[in-house]
Amino acid sequence: MAVKVGDLAPDFTLPSQSGSSVSLRDFRGKKSVILYFYPKDDTPGCTAESCAFRDRYEVFQEAGAEVIGISGDSPDSHQRFANKYQLPFTLVSDTNNQVRKLYGVPATLGLLPGRVTYAIDPQGVVRHIFNSQFNFQGHVEEALKTLRDIQQSPAAS
């Protein structure tokens, strides 16, 4: 069952590139979360997407959101990737693809792990889902647009 807009985002605890555990519940009641699933560290599309999030990271922070990237790569791979491209946000390792399956992230052509971004409000509700394997910048723009909507909604105040 895929996660849909309006659903409570499923919680998870996964290791990050620093070795510490990251749980989605740690942000509940505090911040919005932009959770982006990507196929693989240090590949052209994933690098373009991650660098697009990096380049707008300050805007995400100002909007009260944390960005978390998630793929099946190891924490060591994430550390190398984050260092190489100066990624200021957290990357978590879903090595068994359990969280990817929990969220129902589809594979592209049945083979390539999908590229899907979830905008989750401070209450833990999924407010927007953007699924595009090739529109890397769209993931960032859609997430920022949703954050603006979240900030302007009466529930945010």
SS3 state at 148: helix
Token pair 């995400």: residue: 60
Under 8 Å between Cβ of 132 and 117: no
- Active-site annotation holds for 51: no
Question: Are residues 53 and 140 in contact, defined by beta-carbon separation less than 8 angstroms?
Answer: yes
Catalytic pick among 46, 82, 87, 150? 46
| Cβ pair 53, 88 in contact under 8 A | no
User: In the numeric block, which tokens belong to residue 149?
Assistant: 């909507």
CB neighbours of residue 83 within 10 Å: 10
Catalytic residue numbers read 46
